[in-house]
Structure 1
Amino acid sequence: MTSKMNRVVKYIFLSVASFVSIFPFFWMIISATNKSVDVTRGKLIPGSSFVENLNNLFKPELGFAASLVNSAEIAIITTILALLVSSITGYGFEIFRTKARDRLFNILLLSMMIPFSALMIPLFKFFAALKNSPLSFLGLNTLWAVLLPGVCTAFLIFFFRQNTKSFPKEILEAARIDGLGEVGIFFKIYFPTMKTTYAAAAIITFMGAWNAYLWPLIALQSPEKKTVLLIISKLASSYSPDYGLIMMAIVITTLPTALVFFVMQKHFVAGMTGSIK
């Protein structure tokens, strides 16, 4: 009897927790099909304004379609470069042993304690100076100014180094004996073997780049360069916000990150637990 009662209590608790977790997404999708007045009234049934909200959202004057392209470019390029740079760095820290290795790595980890708010002014001055230099294509109001700060992070380097600890070093020795160079070892052996680690890092990096708000708000000044979150923020801060339109924008913005996570979910779990396949 006690065991049965415990099971009932467990199922009730899990059901309530599931409802609390799912309800915001349910409300967001329902609101995207309703008019703004229905959203403010708390209507919880689908409406007939889905097509209207979708058409209004993609009107050229709002710039939402262009912002989706900008966000996609930033997220994809940041993810590719971050995986390449951070994995090479993490691999080097673990495989190549020097006297100053751990000291340098500890200094790198200390940088994780610096809040981004303390870095905004130096970053702004740095990219502003680039604007008037031969490297002006990397200066403020360019997509490169947004994505470069996220290319190499202490967390990703730490993540790759920790997962490299479980990489079988015997394979490296065998490859070196066979005459394979370090670059070949990395791309032909390490890279395919650590695919779960790369998948986990890709999800983390892509979601972080896609959901970035504060630095793009500072670095991007032209309307045509805005990211999708900046457009949503602009819609929400208008004098009379259209909540149905805003919810439609949020639903569309959520889809890429949700799709990436669900497609790579198994690899993500394996990568976070440090397994190698």
Structure 2
Amino acid sequence: MHNKEYRVFKKVLLHIALLIVVLISIFPFIWMLTGATNKSVDVTGGVLRFGKSLGENWTNLQSSANVFLVFLNSMKITLIYTFVSILICSMAGYGFEKYRSKGKNLVYSLFLFSMMIPFSAQMIPLFKMASKANMLDSHTAVILPTLAMPFLVFFFRQSFQSYPTELIEAARIDGANEFTIFFRLVMAPMKSTFAAGAIYAFMKQWNNYLWPLIVIQTNEKKTFTLLLSSLASAYYVDYGQLMLAIVLATIPIIIVFLTMQKQFVEGIVGSSK
């Protein structure tokens, strides 16, 4: 076999292998879409074709919970959390990287050390604090505890290392205050980094389950993850409406990622340099 034929053969094998990996990766999503249009017995039976029960599944889902209200609850919590978390973590990362202080590295190391503490060890203290502050069964209690994410602070600090300190010092000499420097001079050229951080924060909060399960106590305050859990843990699981609910829960993440995919890749690559 000649070298040219060998390269073509190798490329074909590579494409076949990639195609197989792609099919395996998207199979759960295809099963989810088809399951949303079929009855529960068809889903459990492994039917992989689109059915005619989408309307019935939607009616059953609406009768099980106020889907629109639950969706709004999750979207409200996630959007507020994403905006505030990105603001806090980016400013913290900027401060750790661009300000000089003797104890800065020690504080930063202790802050990163908190990533090693499992959330299961923090639940009881956080619950007691939320209870004493009269925040139980509120969206505020869901948002507050994890606003300052160590990973995002680390991510932003790594990204700010590539930003020229000379520009910041020149702006200070010209009389610009620190907030003007950060919001006008620093944020503008680092949109990709902020987009990557926003996607991470959005996905983390949208998929958050354990903490909302602990602090949310009424159906009016439920999030989508709690709705999915209640549907999946019922005495009789209607897999048709469950699949439809999963599709609805997946749509916001898909939209956010597809619309910000380019910025996400650029932000991740930029922070790793």
TM-score tier (shorter): over 0.9
The match for 1:24 among 28, 37, 59 is 28
Q: Tell me which residue corresponds to 2:86.
A: 83
Equivalent pair of 1:150/1:209 in contact (CA under 8 Å): no
1:265 partner amino acid: Q
TM-score, normalising length: structure 2 = 0.95
The question of 1:74 aligning with 2:77 is answered yes
Equivalent pair of 1:33/1:47 in contact (CA under 8 Å): yes
Q: Tell me which residue corresponds to 2:185.
A: 189
Equivalent pair of 1:141/1:220 in contact (CA under 8 Å): yes
Q: CA deviation at 1:4?
A: 2.8
2:161 partner amino acid: K
User: 1:165, 1:37 → 2: CA distance?
Assistant: 56
The match for 1:147 among 139, 143, 148 is 143
TM-score, normalising length: structure 1 = 0.94
Q: Tell me which residue corresponds to 2:159.
A: 163
Moved over 4 A (4+): none
3-state SS in 2 of match to 1:194: helix
Equivalent pair of 1:63/1:231 in contact (CA under 8 Å): no
The match for 1:100 among 71, 87, 103 is 103
User: 1:65, 1:207 → 2: CA distance?
Assistant: 20
Structure 1: gaps spanning 5 or more residues: 132-138
Structure 2: gaps spanning 5 or more residues: none
1:191 partner amino acid: M
User: 2:238, 2:182 → 1: CA distance?
Assistant: 51
Q: CA deviation at 1:8?
A: 2.4
Report the more deviating stretch, 172-181 or 108-117.
172-181
The question of 1:65 aligning with 2:61 is answered no
The question of 1:247 aligning with 2:243 is answered yes
Q: Tell me which residue corresponds to 2:132.
A: 129
Count of aligned positions: 267
% of aligned pairs identical? Answer: 48
3-state SS in 1 of match to 2:133: helix
User: 1:257, 1:224 → 2: CA distance?
Assistant: 23
Cα RMSD of the aligned pairs, angstroms, is: 1.1
3-state SS in 2 of match to 1:179: coil
1:232 partner amino acid: L
The match for 2:212 among 213, 216, 223 is 216
Q: CA deviation at 1:11?
A: 1.8
Q: CA deviation at 1:56?
A: 2.5
User: 2:55, 2:166 → 1: CA distance?
Assistant: 59
